[in-house]
Amino acid sequence: MTIGPDGSRTRAAEIARRIEDEVIADGWRVGTALGSETAFMARFEVGRSVVREAFRILESRHVATPRRGPGGGLVVTAPDRSAVLDQASLFLEYDGFAADDLFQIMELLEVAAVEHVSATIDAEGLARLREVLAAEVDVGDLRFEPVTVHTELARLSGNPVLSLFIHIGNNLARTHGVRPSQSEHQWIHKHSVELVEALEVGDTVAAVRSVRRRIRGMSRRRSVSSTRIPSTPTTGES
């Protein structure tokens, strides 16, 4: 039976979902060869065009990619977190969001991260926070720093869901953040210092208080704009 264009796409999507489910069930082993086009054609009893469309879907979802040549075929890949962050941010750009909503959610997320890290952090984690803190002193604009004390806390929490959503919030704050003045930069850094010092002595209450003060202070200062901020200076700007 011949499957039309719409049916082909539907079948390809079904095959892609089956393969994706198997990759997840197998522990998402990056680099694993899943099989050739011919093998998948025989397995699912479909033509080459349907298999190639399924491969395209899997590649667009950062699950697997076709590898050409001998020993090639479909190979498991690692998802690209930056692509996830960009897509989530773009969706919120489309759907619309208020700065106050962002600050409210970021406070909840960062407090959760601090509470967890405060109970579990070890000497290595504290050393890493001090290292990141020292590096922040020489940063001109924290909006474009890939690693800050707060993103490092998200990583140290060991909670991938919490970490992902904190990074999504930071991504929005970066693209909508107003460039801080020197005094504002010093103010933000001061709160980061307070946070790390509180964690060093095991004072969870003080650490949480520091996070709340920083985020609420940034909200009052309107540190995030409702419009997207250009990421690079325009011609003639310094």
- 92/106 Cα distance (integer angstroms): 15
CA angle 24, 28, 30 (to 5 degrees): 155
- 80/86 Cα distance (integer angstroms): 10
User: Which class for 54: exposed (0-12), middle (13-18), buried (19 or more C-beta within 10 A)?
Assistant: buried
Separation of CA 170 from chain center:
9
The pLDDT assigned to 104 comes to: 92
Q: Which residues contact 189 (CB under 8 A, 6 or more apart)?
A: 133, 136, 137
Q: What is the pLDDT of residues 1-18, one digit of tens each?
A: 334 445 677 999 999 999
The DSSP secondary-structure symbol of 62 reads T
Q: What is the pLDDT of residues 44-56, one digit of tens each?
A: 999 999 999 999 9
- Measured CA to CA in angstroms, residue 206 lies from 131, 136, 210 at distances of 21, 21, 6
Task: Return the higher-pLDDT residue of 54 and 178.
Answer: 54
Q: What is the pLDDT of residues 55-97, one digit of tens each?
A: 999 999 999 999 887 666 899 999 988 888 888 888 888 888 8
